[in-house]
Chain A
Amino acid sequence: MGKEWALVLFTLLAQMSVGLMVVAQALNLKQREGLKPVLLWVGILMAASMVVSLGHLGSPLGAPRAIFNLKTSWLSREIFFSASFFVLWLVNYYLELRTQAGEGVKAISGWLAGFCGILALISMANIYVHTILPAWETAYTHLVFYTTALVLGAILYAVLAYRNRQEGQQGMLKITGILTVIGVALQLLSLPPYLASLSAGPVAAQETARLLLGAAPVLIFSQALAVLGGIVFTFLALRAYGEKGSLLTGQWLYGALALLVLAELASRYLFYATGVSITIGQF
């Protein structure tokens, strides 16, 4: 399917935004004070993703028409829920910053936005599952999209929360570290079955597997970065925090974020570059 850079960036930014929102809500159930600096980035990432997504369209000015077929089109649903997520985020951000609303109201508005974001992610994955491209039409797409949201959301939350609160961070670092490791592990474990099923599939699936093996350096690079950033660096950040090396903790966290973003970028690039149509060589 060529180099769909607009979609590579759109999906990554949107998944990071939704992941950040959900992780932030889950880790601030009782005390919402730490949420404010994090929430700003949820909005920035989602706004950026929506602007970037226009780059994929042949006629960007018609973008609002993309929600006209909610009844049967997953693409319509994705755009609808993504836009709703952004609007609900705006409401939640306003409530958190500008009003004296109760904690319960703020929490409900935050979770509503997060829930809408999750629906956007589910729709996003289903777009690709409902195509005729063997690289996309498997459960692997669901798994990769959700784990990317988890990994990037958790590590970005760790960085932002750490930067804004210097005390008592051990619990937060532990939980975000565990979430990141779970996401990276799921991605690693699901790759061999995905490759095996493509290799054993019809011609276009085998061609996808052949392309992936041809891009083995990029594939290995992305997985190695994910392990290094998501497992090694987060562990080192936690250890540095335990040893009162707070400066080092921050550096390991920033390093982990950079490596994980690079890893997911490389992985997502391959996702689009290996989308081989079943009509190749035929019709």
Chain B
Amino acid sequence: MAGQLGFHVQQDRCIGCFTCQIACKDKNDLEVGQLFRRVREIAGGGYTETGNNAFRADVYAYWISLSCNHCQDPPCVKNCPTGAMQKRPEDGIVFVDQNKCIGCRYCVWSCPYGAPQYNPQIGKVGKCDFCRDLLAKGEQPACVAACPMRVLDFGPLDELKKKYGGTNQIKGLPDPNTTKPSILITPHRDAALGK
């Protein structure tokens, strides 16, 4: 493999504008209910009374933009009974060959990130394929190109690591040890583990 491709998310800069989600939906011409990239708000905390009618606020909210993480050990590829779900050897992109997919949805049950999306209208599964058609033309994935805050970046994972550092686990995401997701996140201060 020349280098496992991955995404970097500069989460502390994300303003939750949903442009990446919309660009992805437009590029892939997705029906209502289908999202290959999703932006979600994670919020929590509250107000604690400290006495003398005083309150301490520890509310927090942050955004996370997530698509398929093109895992290095993808359970969707392992479990797919037809071989429709594949991992490209040269760059580690995980994609589904819809000509082979039979719509059994085992990949949907297998992915901890909810990446494969079952489309009942065609009876098959679709998912983020890293816009491999755009990559082949030397262009950026639609979500990366559309982000107005430059939150998203992509490239070989080891290069992203050198450029940004980051982590593949933040609060609200599943344990990365089972699938080894190809994602690096520079976390929002409230999303960092151990805080």
B23 at the interface (CB under 8 A from A): no
Establish whether residues A282 and B172, one from each chain, have CB atoms under 8 Å apart when the complex forms.
yes
How close is B15's CB to chain A, nearest CB, in angstroms? 19
> In the complex, A63→B101 CA distance in Å?
10
Chain A residues with Cβ below 8 Å from B42 are 282
Most buried by B among A57, A58, A127, A283: A283
**Interfacial chain A residues near B165, Cβ < 8 Å:** none
CA distance A69 to B81 in the complex (A): 5
Please tell me if the beta carbons of B102 and A75 are within 8 angstroms of each other in the complex.
no
User: Please, how many residues of chain A have a CB less than 8 angstroms from a CB on the other chain?
Assistant: 31
Contact A62/B82 with A75-B106, A132-B112 known, Cβ cut-off 8 Å = yes
Interchain CA distance A282-B83 in the complex, whole Å: 28
Would you call A278 and B174 a contact (CB within 8 A)? yes
Residues of chain B with a CB closer than 8 A to A65's CB? 81-83, 100, 102
Q: How far is the CA of A74 from the CA of B122 in the complex (A)?
A: 25
Main secondary structure of the interface of A (DSSP, over half): loop
For the residues of B in contact with A, the DSSP-based class is loop
Q: Which of B96-142 contact A (CB under 8 A)?
A: 100-106, 109-114, 118-120, 122-125
- Contact indicator per residue, chain A 54-65, by CB within 8 Å of chain B (1) or not (0): 001111101101
B83 engages A57 (CB within 8 Å) = no
Min CB–CB distance A132 → chain B (angstroms): 5
A279 B100 Cβ-Cβ under 8 A: no
Q: Does B78 contact A (CB under 8 A)?
A: yes
Per the bound structure, the CA–CA distance linking A63 and B123 in Å amounts to 12
- Nearest-CB distance from B177 to chain A (Å)? 13
Q: Is the CB of B118 within 8 A of A283?
A: no
Give Cα A1–Cα B79 distance, bound, in whole angstroms.
Answer: 18
Distance between Cα atoms of A133 and B112 in the complex (Å): 9
Check if B102 sits within 8 Å of A127, measured CB to CB: no
Instruction: Say whether A32 faces chain B, with CB atoms less than 8 Å apart.
Output: no
Q: Is the CB of B79 within 8 A of A59?
A: no
Given known A59-B103, A59-B124, contact A75–B81 (CB-CB < 8 A): yes
* Selected contact of B109 from candidates A58, A72, A79, A133, CB within 8 Å: A133
With contacts A58-B102, A279-B114, A283-B38 known, is A131 near B109, CB below 8 A?
yes
Instruction: Please tell me if the beta carbons of A73 and B120 are within 8 angstroms of each other in the complex.
Output: no
**Is the pair B81, A132 in contact by a Cβ cutoff of 8 Å?**
no
**B106–A73 touching, CB < 8 Å:** yes
- A76, B80: Cα distance in complex, Å: 8
For residue B66, CB closer than 8 A to chain A, the reply is: yes
Contacting B106 at CB < 8 Å: which of A63, A67, A127, A279? A127
A277–B81 CB distance below 8 A? no
Minimum CB–CB distance from B85 to chain A (whole Å) comes to: 9
With a cutoff of 8 Å between Cβ atoms, the chain A residues found around residue B38 in the complex are 283
Tell me whether A59 and B102 are in contact (CB under 8 A).
yes
Q: Is B16 an interface residue (CB 8 A)?
A: no
A163 at the interface (CB under 8 A from B): no
Q: Residue A36 at the B interface, CB < 8 A?
A: no
Q: Tell me, yes or no, whether A68 is within 8 Å of chain B by CB.
A: yes
Q: Give the shortest distance, in Å, between A7 (CB) and chain B (any CB).
A: 10
Knowing A133-B109, A282-B172, the reply to whether A277 touches B82 (Cβ < 8 A) is: no
| Identity of the chain B residue whose Cβ is nearest the Cβ of A79 in the assembled complex | B81
Bound-state Cα–Cα, A59 to B106, Å: 14
CA gap between A58 and B79 in the complex, in Å:
17
In order of increasing CB-CB distance, the 3 nearest A-B pairs are A58-B103, A58-B123, A62-B102
- List residues of chain B with CB under 8 Å of any chain A CB: 38, 40, 42, 64, 66, 75, 78-83, 100-106, 109-114, 118-120, 122-125, 172-174
For the complex with contacts A65-B83, A282-B40, 19 further pairs of A-B residues with Cβ separation under 8 Å are A56-B105, A57-B123, A58-B101, A58-B104, A58-B125, A59-B101, A59-B123, A59-B124, A65-B100, A68-B100, A69-B83, A131-B106, A132-B75, A132-B109, A277-B109, A279-B112, A282-B42, A283-B40, A283-B64
List A residues at the B interface (Cβ < 8 Å). Answer: 1, 56-60, 62-63, 65-69, 72-76, 79, 127, 130-133, 136, 275, 277-279, 282-283
Q: List 13 A-B contacts (CB under 8 A).
A: A58-B122, A59-B124, A63-B102, A65-B82, A65-B83, A66-B104, A67-B81, A73-B80, A130-B110, A132-B174, A282-B40, A283-B64, A283-B66
